[in-house]
Structure 1
């Protein structure tokens, strides 16, 4: 049994939200065995004003200290962790490099001054800092919390993400060699990041198995008379719209549901006119279960490019946990799923795979889906992450051990 560690996680995402987040799932499963402090999203002054106007969800009072920014959350697995809202920061993404870095140092210093007052209330041991896809904040934070190690958790290719690429790419290049290890969510990302940080590991995305497996039982009492193909997650430029349109025309009797955020208006422009397309707004994870129970097939129709090649899709295990057959393009290295997922890159082959899945699958096949998802649960992924934590601690310890001179 590994020692109980104090983990401070600083993320690029908020804890709350209406879509599944890898770092939230990981910290949830680490919380039963470790003391976790999750530093929530670093809301800027612009965010705060937008929140005041009711346009976005922002913890208004907590971020300006009119309410205690530290809360203790009880999670679905019975564990508890601490959630801390940082003070409002100045927006910097629009600034040129020199000014960006100067103002970021001020933002980080202000945040750390506030954070240091909170830490003694939670734990007294040196923390492990887990930085989740946030090198812009992580770089000035290095060595500032008396941390015993820093692990960079990288779940996407930062240079391709337009909202962070401007400063994120160059900050990550400087950050990677300075951290103690990098953990990625795909083998392709691990290969890319290992060029700057040789202590590189891969912990693939998992599934909230206990939640999504409920869809299988619910489906038995759900009206599934309407053939429905579903896509779960963000609809953006990763989707091969030519492929999807081909499927829509080839299967007019089948309803295609896109469940989640739409961040690329081209998706609605091209698909919104088809009578067999439905867009469903994002909902909290628990509300996804009845939606999944109505699906006959789950799809991942990603285009094949350098961005999608680095992805290990969260949704693949969620579909399988629900007992739903999956049809996907082979956009990345997904050999783990060769026995349970139908892969097709060409439109005609993709439609054929959909037709076969819509015709029904055996109970034995469904059990294969569920068993695969169970083996890829976040519980198991957290155990893999803990093994890496121990390797990092052992490596740090060996660096500080002075060899005994021989007589």
Structure 2
């Protein structure tokens, strides 16, 4: 593992939240021997107003400078991450005219850059390594403006137009070309990014095995009269409602439970009409293992489209870590799991795989899944991530001399 580095993460997420984030997992482990600054998702003036009105949650006091913008966050291993909340920026995504957008966005980048420079000076972060985690919008204008030694793009999903409109595609393309290296979470993403930057590598998502191990199954449940199939995660546009509905209708004797943040209300509207379906609000990350352990099978029913080809779902290793069989649609080429997870191309196969896995599970298969997930721990992913940073640093140093 790398040691003694100053690392600043320009993030597109918050540090805290109701689901596991790969960026947080990796940085928490890197923080054990390095100085880490995590830059919180840049909230806007609109977010401040909505938070004051009670319609949203944002750290307004820190954003406005009434409280310290930099705060120490302790990781599960006792390491410290410097957590930075940015001043509020202007909402710009709704601006259609590109000339107007660029002028207004310059104000945002000035605010962002100025705060980062102040932080670098205050914390004495010489020659920082900048890791931009899925945020090329702010990562691109920061290049060569922070006296950085290395710029890395950590890309864990394909870009979409939901947040930044279609302009994000060109911004990300330019960003990919200018960074020192790219780290992706899937083979498909890597193959796409290599077309823009040859220094593109893969570090796939992992699992907090220490968290899940105490809840792992020892044997197939022989007590329950009704089999339970579970989905835990965000319920959004990626979810294939039609395939899921077919399985629910065809398997009335199986209980299907969905737990997570509901973004696409059509999912609940369509599926909650069936008696063998239940929906629950999202839970904290530490509550997930115990919840998964009560299921007889885990599902990942994502649409098979271009956007979802990029995905390496976090939940796949989490399901396996507690020993439950996994059935998913063929939304991505996840060849690593070919021998241990069932993949279905049609609704009939999806339904059939669920039925077969519930009927034919064994204690031996449970153990195989747990051992498989153990190899995909975040500790092993952090080592791989660290090795890429080390390799890229040596290349940068050599080219600079």
1:132 and 2:133 matched: yes
How big is the shift at 1:141? 0.8
Output one character per residue of 1:281-334: Cα deviation in whole Å (capped at 9) or x when no partner. 111101222211211100011221111111111110010111111011222111
Retained in 1: the 8 A contact 2:154–2:182? yes
How does the TM-score come out when normalised to structure 2?
A: 0.95
Aligned-pair Cα RMSD in Å: 2.0
| 1:72 corresponding residue in structure 2 | 72
Q: In structure 2, how many angstroms separate the alpha carbons of the residues matched to 1:219 and 1:267?
A: 32
Task: Show the counterpart of 2:17.
Answer: 17
- The answer to whether the 8 A contact 1:219-1:293 is kept is no
**Residue aligned with 1:332, SS:** coil
Name the counterpart of 2:331: 331
What residue ranges of structure 1 are gaps of 5+ in the alignment?
Answer: 402-407
For residues 186-213 of structure 1, the C-alpha deviation after alignment (integer angstroms, 9 at most, x for no partner) is 1111111111112111111111222223
**After the TM superposition, which of the residue ranges 120-129 and 390-399 deviates more from structure 2?**
120-129
Specify the alignment match of 1:405 in structure 2.
none
1:145 matched residue in structure 2: 146
Q: Give the Cα separation in 2 of the matches to 1:218 and 1:112.
A: 52
- C-alpha separation between the residues in 2 aligned to 1:185 and 1:312? 6
- Choose 214-223 or 36-45, whichever is displaced more: 214-223
1: CA distance, partners of 2:275 / 2:5: 53
Cα displacement (A) at 1:25: 1.4
| Cα distance between partner residues in 2 of 1:162 and 1:81 | 30
Relative to 1, partners in 2 of residues 1:52 and 1:223: Cα closer, same or farther, differing over 3 Å? Answer: farther
**Residue correspondence of structure 1 range 29-108 to structure 2 within 5 A:** 29-95=29-95, 96-108=97-109
SS of alignment partner, residue 273 of structure 1:
coil
Which moves more between the two structures, 238-247 or 180-189? 238-247
Rounded to whole Å, the distance in 2 between the matches of 1:107 and 1:223 is: 58
TM-score (norm 1): 0.93
- In structure 2, the residue matched to 1:5 is 5
Q: Go from structure 1 to structure 2 and tell me whether the alpha carbon gap of 1:218 and 1:339 turns closer, same or farther (over 3 Å shift).
A: closer
Query: Which residue does 2:398 correspond to in 1?
Result: 398
User: In 2, Cα distance between the equivalents of 1:17 and 1:263?
Assistant: 15
- Distance in 1 (CA, whole Å) between partners of 2:204 and 2:21 is 13
Q: d(CA) in 1 for partners of 2:268 and 2:225?
A: 26
Counterpart in 2 of 1:113? 114
Question: Shift of the alpha carbon at 1:147?
Answer: 0.5
Residue 305, structure 1, aligned to residue 330, structure 2? no
SS at match of 1:7: strand
- For the residues of structure 1 that align with 2:327 and 2:122, how far apart are their CA atoms? 49
Partner of 2:243: 243
3-state SS of paired residue (1:213): helix
CA gap of 1:75–1:385, structure 2 versus 1, over 3 A, is same
How many residue pairs align between the two structures? 400
Determine the structure 2 residue equivalent to 1:315: 315
| 8 Å contact from structure 1 (residues 136, 172) kept in 2 | yes
**Separation of aligned partners in 2, 1:311 and 1:293:** 24
Is the 1:222–1:293 contact (alpha carbons within 8 Å) kept by the matching residues of 2?
no
- Give the superposition deviation at 1:217: 5.6
Instruction: Label 1:45 to 1:236 Cα distance change in 2 as closer, same or farther (>3 A).
Output: same
**Counterpart residue number, 1:215:** 215
State the distance in 2 between where 1:97 and 1:393 align.
36
> Contact 2:45/2:90 (CA < 8 Å) preserved in 1?
yes
Distance 1:309 1:327 in 2: 17
Alpha-carbon deviations, 1:340-388, whole Å to 9, x = none? 1112222222222212222352222111111111111111111111111
- 1: CA distance between counterparts of 2:114 and 2:239? 43
CA distance in 2, matches of 1:255, 1:290: 18
SS at match of 2:348: helix
Asked if the contact 1:10/1:134 (under 8 Å) is kept, the reply is yes
Deviation at 1:161, TM superposition (A): 4.2
Conservation of the 8 A alpha-carbon contact between 1:6 and 1:123 = no
Distance 1:218 1:80 in 2: 35
After superposition, give the CA deviation of every residue in 1:216-257 in whole Å (9 maximum; x if it has no partner): 269999985542101121122222222111111111121111
Query: How far apart in 2 are the matches of 1:223 and 1:138?
Result: 53
Residue of structure 2 equivalent to 1:195: 195
